[in-house]
Structure 1
């Protein structure tokens, strides 16, 4: 025999502060919402530009038959092994990046550290370091990127010993940066 169940429903402004917090936490846990990541992509593109990373692009078909260029930024899940974020692009020195990233994201200590490390290693290499960042494999996380570091020296001087490790680590830290990735 059917049963009638009545439920009392409240509007958000009618809830107590504790109930509002509980409702917000419940809503956040629902998972992806339509286009929730758009602002994260835009923010990440801006951060990359400030740090001196020119993102590679790939063509995407549009409904009208045309195409547009989509930056090569990928992420997956964040709920299992092999999940995370990665990118493809070209890195070179960006003058004033450390100051610009502080102006753009004044409270993000991780981004400040990345910019400082890149600036320091560039200074030691006379601002001649460059890198190509490529995705490899089928997963998307900081270790699925190949980072090839070179030095564009007019006298063929090699990079300092720690140059490759520092640049690779900074790029991977950027892909793994909690302030960026937890927004995904």
Structure 2
């Protein structure tokens, strides 16, 4: 025989401090939107365009059966050794990149440094340097990017001695910068204040102990 069991449920603001912490932990484990990092990706794509990078894309199958192209950007974080971010791209000289990146990100000193480094090494090589970046291995960090650098010289001039190293390090620094943006966004979205706002806005309820009810 069925029976009716009554249970009292609570809003987040009605919970004790300990129960509230448990409710927040539930949200952090599974309540994040799948696309929480979209804004970071969009910003990164704009940055790469300014710097002369043409991100490669991959085909992703959608829930409804269709497909769409997404940039080849990956990350893993944020607490384990080997965590990081990486991407696949083609790189070539982009005129005015140092000026344009300062206009786009006035406070982005690391981006300014990367743009300046690429500008200097391109100038030494008559703006003929190109790079191909692809992911390899099972992890996602800057050292999982296989980077080949070439000089597209009509007279077959070789790269200057430091060209390969400078381009590789600049692109890896860009991957490190991306990871820091992702980490900063995650820390913000998982802060108590933002988590509380999300739980309250969605009207979630909990048991007295802080377990999700509805």
Q: Same fold (TM over 0.5)?
A: yes
Unaligned runs of 5+ in 2: 1-7, 15-20, 187-214
2-side partners of 1:167 and 1:135: how far apart? 16
- Structure with more relative contact order (C-alpha pairs < 8 Å, separation 6 or more): 2
Bigger Rg, which one: 2
Q: Show structure 1 runs of 5+ residues with no match.
A: 11-22
Contact 2:86 2:141 in 1 (8 A): yes
Deviations 1:125-153 (A, max 9, x none): 00000000010100001111011000000
Give the Cα–Cα distance (whole angstroms) in 1 for the partners of residues 11 and 60 of structure 2.
Answer: 46
Alignment of 1:10-49 (within 5 A): 30=28, 33-34=32-33, 35-49=35-49
CA distance in 2, matches of 1:162, 1:90: 20
Give the Cα separation in 2 of the matches to 1:75 and 1:107: 24
User: Where does residue 132 of structure 2 map in the other structure?
Assistant: 132
CA RMSD of aligned residues (A): 2.5
Aligned to 1:114: 114
Structure 2 counterpart SS, 1:9: helix
Aligned residues: 166
> By percentage of residues, which structure has more helix?
2
In structure 2, the partner of 1:14 is none
Mapped to 1, the partners of 2:39 and 2:92 lie a distance apart of: 25
Question: Is 1:172 paired with 2:176?
Answer: no
